């Protein structure tokens, strides 16, 4: 598979300080994202999976500069996103957008949908008010909503309809790339499939690339071209979707995939139950950060951090045992 990178994440680190004492001095750091590297190609959907708290949402928010990175680079069209300030950063947001898990919290409840989306167009693209209002109707149709809904407020929509509004708002600036941060997790299963199909249609029609963040592997399997598996702030495995689900290599990935509910008639997997809890990102274990829960951990795993290496064409894994 040939790659044409749109987003190139290189050694990304996002650390949050822990403040303590009367003077609120820094007593430590939470390593939410620690030396993460992967690429997202043009017109590609990369799934980012892992347990809650593994840092996947922090990666997505860092790409669109909602979280400031501690180190590393994020290249977009060979330009380091992390170095941009002021007007250059504002222009960048035309091309990089984000859709959140809860659309109700990201849509101003005091604005109609018309005003919510039109404001983006007038402020960011210099549309006149009349031009912006006309464009709103077109955007709503694009995401499968009737243009007459433009006069409604967010609370007048169902959860799935609100998410369509949030997607329409993200599309207003005609982005090349959208972060979908748990974009279907709060929706009913039937509505999830509708939103996933909508995102797929938009990708095919407009060439949009996605970083699709989710803890639901069945959703990731359906929508993604490649998958990145994270654990405690680091990448454990990266592969094309079909290869990952057929031949998972990392013990953590195998445990995640074993937990996917299987439909009758499909080959049943042996359920792998991990023991213990995920360590704190403020106190990351030495060596492989998964060794405290790994059934195959050896002395080397406890002292030496495994490097990401290619185990098969296009299939990368960070594990001493593979």
Given its phi and psi angles, is residue 207 left (phi above 0), alpha (psi -120 to 50 degrees) or beta? left
Tens of pLDDT, residue by residue over 18-35, are: 887 777 787 889 999 999
The chain-wide mean pLDDT, for the chain, equals 90
Tens of pLDDT, residue by residue over 4-13, are: 799 999 999 9
Tens of pLDDT, residue by residue over 196-248, are: 999 999 999 999 999 999 988 989 999 999 999 999 999 999 999 999 999 99
Domain ranges of the chain: 5-95+175-317
Q: Is the pLDDT of residue 174 over 60?
A: yes
Interatomic CA distance for residues 41 and 3, integer angstroms: 6
Q: How many CB atoms lie within 10 A of CB 18?
A: 12
CA 246 to chain centre: 22
Res. 265 pLDDT band, cuts 50 70 90: very low
Q: Which fold has domain 5-95+175-317?
A: Rossmann fold (3.40.50)
Contact predicate 203/197, CB 8 Å: no
Question: Which pair of tokens denotes residue 33?
Answer: 């994202």
Tell me, what's the pLDDT at 78? 85
Tens of pLDDT, residue by residue over 33-75, are: 999 999 999 999 999 999 988 999 999 999 999 999 999 999 9
Tens of pLDDT, residue by residue over 99-108, are: 998 877 778 8
Question: Which pair of tokens denotes residue 140?
Answer: 């709503």
Q: What number is the average pLDDT over the span 102-128?
A: 88
Interatomic CA distance for residues 134 and 187, integer angstroms: 29
Interatomic CA distance for residues 268 and 221, integer angstroms: 17
- Beta-carbon contacts of 46 under 8 Å, excluding residues fewer than 6 positions away, are 38, 40, 209, 210, 211, 212, 224, 225, 226, 227, 228
């Amino acid at each position: 598979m040939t790659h044409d990178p749109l987003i190139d994440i290189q050694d990304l680190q996002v650390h949050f300080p822990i403040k303590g004492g009367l003077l609120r001095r820094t007593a430590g750091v939470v390593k939410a994202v620690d030396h993460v590297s992967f690429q997202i190609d043009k017109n590609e959907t990369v799934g980012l999976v892992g347990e809650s708290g593994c840092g996947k949402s922090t990666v997505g928010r860092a790409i669109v500069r909602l979280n400031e990175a501690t180190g590393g680079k994020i290249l977009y069209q060979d330009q380091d996103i992390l170095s941009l300030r002021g007007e250059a950063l504002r222009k960048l947001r035309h091309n990089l957008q984000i859709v959140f898990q809860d659309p109700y919290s990201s849509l101003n409840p005091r604005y109609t949908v018309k005003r919510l989306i039109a404001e983006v167009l007038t402020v960011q693209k210099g549309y006149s008010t009349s031009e912006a209002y006309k464009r709103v109707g077109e955007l709503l149709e694009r995401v499968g909503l009737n243009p007459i809904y433009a006069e409604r407020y967010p609370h007048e929509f169902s959860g799935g309809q609100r998410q369509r509004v949030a997607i329409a708002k993200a599309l207003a600036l005609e982005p090349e790339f959208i972060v979908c941060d748990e974009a279907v997790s709060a929706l009913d299963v039937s509505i999830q499939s509708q939103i996933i199909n909508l995102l797929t249609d938009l990708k095919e029609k407009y060439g949009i690339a996605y970083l699709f963040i989710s803890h639901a592997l069945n959703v990731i399997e359906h929508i993604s071209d490649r998958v990145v598996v994270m654990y405690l702030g680091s990448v454990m495995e990266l592969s094309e979707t079909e290869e990952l689900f057929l031949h998972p290599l990392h013990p953590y990935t195998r445990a995640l995939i074993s937990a996917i509910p299987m439909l009758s008639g499909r080959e049943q997997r042996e359920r792998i139950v991990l023991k213990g809890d995920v360590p704190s990102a403020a106190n990351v274990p030495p060596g492989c950060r998964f060794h405290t829960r790994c059934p195959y951990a050896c002395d080397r795993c406890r002292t030496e951090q495994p490097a990401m290496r290619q185990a098969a064409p296009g299939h990368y894994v960070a594990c001493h045992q593979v």
